[in-house]
Structure 1
């Protein structure tokens, strides 16, 4: 019965908090309006908009991946700074295609974010069938090595973390 009235209680609470923060008012009327709006929005959201549930296969691997990503971002910042401050004729920009093994929405979102956060690389497109990722690289020395690095250093751990 309660699930029918409040199909997504956490969404209702988050929307209520956002409403109160936006309105900057804790009056009872404003709280009631925020609750009604949050409930109405949560009730009207269809099940097709929700992502599949996240199941962590190896959560400790997330810490290791986080350290790798931070290290790679620092190293890439130095490399990009040296490239940008040097002669521009040394730059070898290119687009590369990275074949993907993962189809999990969260794993793909994390992979795209990681690649885009690293200076010198930017995800330009995810194919419609989610089998390829088009990445723009500021300075490409070896395409096969970069594809292997993205797959082994980022995609493989993400597939283990999200059990896909």
Structure 2
């Protein structure tokens, strides 16, 4: 049954939505809805993401959340000062690469969310071997400081959580 109907709840939802959107329960729409509700999950089953992990180390998750929240607030102030400050200060932006140790897909996704949500940093590219991360930093004053900050404040706790 799982082979022919890989995600029964999604199929039931799709069928219900089909009937609601067409505003009819005519036999032809039931037939089209069943075909649609079966075909979409069946043909997209290979595109499903990696299974979610169990929550491990909730204390570290809470600590990481507080660190990220603090860093976002601090970064908002710093970015505001860069934007509203003198024009010559804006010339410090640039690209840098950070070596990565984390390999877990969920950990990389969490790191991407953290870095993209922090004002002044943008995740640009991840190398094919997942060992190098390219970032754009609005106020790139010291690459070593940024590398140390990312590895110690974000990557280390994420490795403890996901690996």
Q: Aligning the two structures, in what range does the TM-score lie when normalised by the shorter sequence?
A: 0.7 to 0.9
1:5 partner SS: coil
1:128 partner SS: coil
**TM-score between the two structures when normalised by the length of structure 1:** 0.81
Whether the aligned pair in 2 keeps the contact of 1:97 and 1:135 (CA below 8 Å) is yes
In the other structure, the counterpart of 1:116 is 116
Whether the aligned pair in 1 keeps the contact of 2:11 and 2:37 (CA below 8 Å) is yes
Q: Does 1:76 align with 2:89?
A: no
In the other structure, the counterpart of 1:52 is 50
**Cα distance in 1 for residues equivalent to 2:150 and 2:30:** 47
Superposed CA RMSD: 2.6
- The alpha carbon displacement at 1:13 in A equals 5.1
Whether the aligned pair in 1 keeps the contact of 2:94 and 2:137 (CA below 8 Å) is yes
Whether the aligned pair in 2 keeps the contact of 1:96 and 1:135 (CA below 8 Å) is yes
**Cα distance in 2 for residues equivalent to 1:110 and 1:116:** 10
Whether the aligned pair in 2 keeps the contact of 1:20 and 1:31 (CA below 8 Å) is no
Structure label with greater radius of gyration: 2
Unaligned 5+ segments in structure 2 are none
**Cα distance in 2 for residues equivalent to 1:34 and 1:153:** 49
2:3 partner SS: helix
Unaligned 5+ segments in structure 1 are none
